[in-house]
Structure 1
Amino acid sequence: MTSPFDGMAALHERGIDELPFRRHVEMPSVLAAADGVEGRRVLDLGCGSGHYARFFARNGAARVLGVDRSPGMIAHARHREEVEPLGVSYRVLDTATTDALDGAFDVTVAVYALSCAPTPAALTRLCAAARDTLAPGGRFVAATLNPDLATVPHYYRPYGFDLTVADAHLRDGDPVGLHGRAEEETFQVTAYYWSREAHERALTEAGFTGIAWQLPRTAAEGSASLFTRYLAAPHVVAVSARVP
């Protein structure tokens, strides 16, 4: 199994994962949407270099497993675990085929994974895969492309990246380009736009209830003004849902 993200692990570690908006806005917002992880079994679905998996371990999760279809990302995450042991386990696994994880977790988190779905059917399959990993009463949290993102050119450039769209009036399934620079390297990823209605339909079809959207928050003490523009139209927001 190979993945186009295999060669990006070190780039994530050196730059993408450390962008200030991620540390001060995105990560605390995801943790709030999860209602905390202390003492809980947590799955990081599409874990990449393991940045969130380590974050959950440091915040008291009883067990953390990170899965990703990229062997390169998982190899990097395992190396980080060797260097700084936190008790996190990692597996190479396609996020859309999680049968082996059936009902094993209290919280499943997917950061940017839903935005990789190119069709409504693929979006529903990802939500269903997340649903299958959770025990009864478990919570799914997705950090996903904001349905109300800013389409003004270079709006997000002060935060280390740009978004590009072909049409400012986005429709479900439209591609959104994410471009940025970390240290001396550039990166480019294509995501797909989905409205709130499309997200909620996919989550409902997958068997979730109690769908809620989490307003972004900042944990940057004394420097919230740095994120005023970003918080007015964040490019990513958290949506959560529960297993009945």
Structure 2
Amino acid sequence: MASKFCGIVEEVSNYYQKDFTRTAIEEYTLESLIPYESLKGKTVLDLACQIGLTSRLAVKLGAESVIGVDISPKMVDIAKKFEEETGGSKIKYIVRDVVDIDKLGEFDVVWAMFLLIHAKDIGNLKKMIQVAYNNLKPGSRFIAFVLQPDVGDSWPPDNTQIKKYGREYKLTSNDEPHDGDEIIITLYTNDDDQKFNLNAYWYSHKTLLTVFEETGFVNVKFQKLKVKPEEYAKNGEEYWRYMLEHPCLIPITAEKKLGN
């Protein structure tokens, strides 16, 4: 996975810096799921932090300290460059494959916006979720995003509708998705002129719930996406309707047992 990412780092960086859907929906939803009125004084572990957008979001929301982890050295270099340009920050970046991490500390929040979608098999998925569990304080929350786990109207998505959000999703199998099936995500950086593909992997609602609970997590919940109010007002209800009614990415939250 590292080599694939390293080859498209500039494209990913350019896309995420310009992608208003990410900030309007995914980051706004992430913020809404934080189990505190404020992150002031809190510690955050950002798994698969990419170019540090969500790590910097944690600082913006008041986090006392943040550790961002990503498998790509080039991604982390870009993230560090942002910190240098703004005169330093409360973020420490680490180049590491998440599945190779044991314990970096006990954090108030662990989040992973785009980690679990890269789990190639159930064993890989379990390792990722276990790392999140190991690094949480008892009673604290893990927030992640997964590909829509409920087979139905959302799979396959209508790409004629999805494309206006700067992305497309293609199921590589010819049937409904099964655990570990590959999904090709196409991201558009400049309308139709520039695009690149990412490989992601699908897991069912039942499998995700089982793996989370086997790890020891409790209160595992699949959440709904939310749109930033100003973006909702700017683009209108009709524009966002398909994304909200047929989400391809949805958040999942879980809590570490007290006393563990």
TM bucket, shorter chain: over 0.9
Q: Which residue of 2 aligns with 1:11?
A: 11
Query: In the alignment, is the contact (CA less than 8 A) between 2:51 and 2:79 conserved in 1?
Result: yes
Instruction: Name stretches of at least 5 consecutive residues in structure 2 with no aligned partner.
Output: none
- How many residues of Structure 1 are paired with residues of Structure 2 in the alignment? 243
* Contact 2:103–2:131 (Cα < 8 Å) also in 1: no
Aligned partners of 2:175 and 2:24: how far apart in 1?
28
User: Which TM-score applies when normalising by structure 1?
Assistant: 0.92
Write the distance in 2 (CA, Å) between the matches of 1:3 and 1:140: 27
2-structure distance, mates of 1:2, 1:120: 19
Contact 2:26 2:225 survives alignment (8 Å) = yes
Within 2, Cα distance between the matches of 1:233 and 1:17?
25
Whichever residue aligns with residue 242 of structure 1, its letter is: E
Find 1:151's aligned residue among 156, 162, 167: 156
Range 7-16 or range 82-91, more displaced: 7-16
Structure 1 residue 97 and structure 2 residue 100: aligned?
Answer: yes
Once residues 216 and 70 of structure 2 are traced to their aligned partners in structure 1, the CA distance between those partners, rounded to angstroms, is 23
Alpha-carbon distance between aligned partners in 1 of 2:178 and 2:120, rounded to the nearest angstrom: 12
204, 207, 227: which one pairs with 1:218?
Answer: 227
Structure 2 letter corresponding to 1:162: E
Aligned-residue offset at 1:86 = 3.2
Displacement, 1:56? 1.2
User: Moved runs in structure 1, 4+ residues, more than 4 A?
Assistant: none
Q: Given the alignment of the two structures, is residue 236 of structure 1 paired with residue 254 of structure 2, yes or no?
A: no
Partner SS, residue 217 of structure 1: coil
Partners of 1:218 and 1:126 in 2: how far apart? 28
CA distance in 1, matches of 2:205, 2:33: 16
**TM alignment of 1:134-173, pairs within 5 A:** 134-148=136-150, 149-154=154-159, 155-165=161-171, 166-167=173-174, 169-173=176-180
| Per-residue CA distance 1:62-112 (angstroms, 9 max, x = gap) | 1111001111111111111111233221011111122241x4211111112
SS in structure 2 at match of 1:60: coil
Tell me the alpha carbon deviations over residues 125-182 of structure 1, each in whole angstroms, 9 at most, x when there is no partner: 1100111111212211101111143414414111101101133511111111101221
Which sits farther off after the overlay, 27-36 or 1-10? 1-10
- Superposed, 1:60-71 pairs within 5 Å as 60-71=62-73
Provide the C-alpha distance between the structure 2 equivalents of 1:3 and 1:211, rounded to a whole number of angstroms. Answer: 33
Matched residue, 1:38: 39
Contact 2:64–2:90 (Cα < 8 Å) also in 1: no
Instruction: Tell me, in whole angstroms, the C-alpha distance in 1 between the residues paired with 2:203 and 2:130.
Output: 17
Structure 1 unaligned segments of length 5 or more: list them: none
Q: Structure 1 152/2 Cα, relative in aligned 2: closer, same or farther at 3 Å? A: closer
SS at structure 2 position matched to 1:229? helix
SS in 1 for 2:45: strand
2: CA distance between counterparts of 1:211 and 1:27? 20
SS in structure 1 of the partner of residue 97 of structure 2:
coil
> What's the Cα RMSD here?
1.9
> Is the Cα–Cα contact under 8 Å of residues 21 and 227 in structure 1 kept in the other structure?
no
Q: Aligned with 2:68: secondary structure? A: strand
Kept after mapping to 2: 8 A contact 1:81/1:87: no
Task: Tell me what 2:201 maps to.
Answer: 192
Pairwise CA distance, 1:227: 1.1
Secondary structure (helix, strand or coil) at the match of 1:5 reads helix
Q: Report if the CA contact (8 A) 1:9-1:48 is conserved.
A: no
- The counterpart of 2:214, out of the listed 189, 193, 205, is 205
Distance 2:119 2:157 in 1: 24
- CA distance, structure 2, for counterparts of residue 56 and residue 12 of structure 1: 20
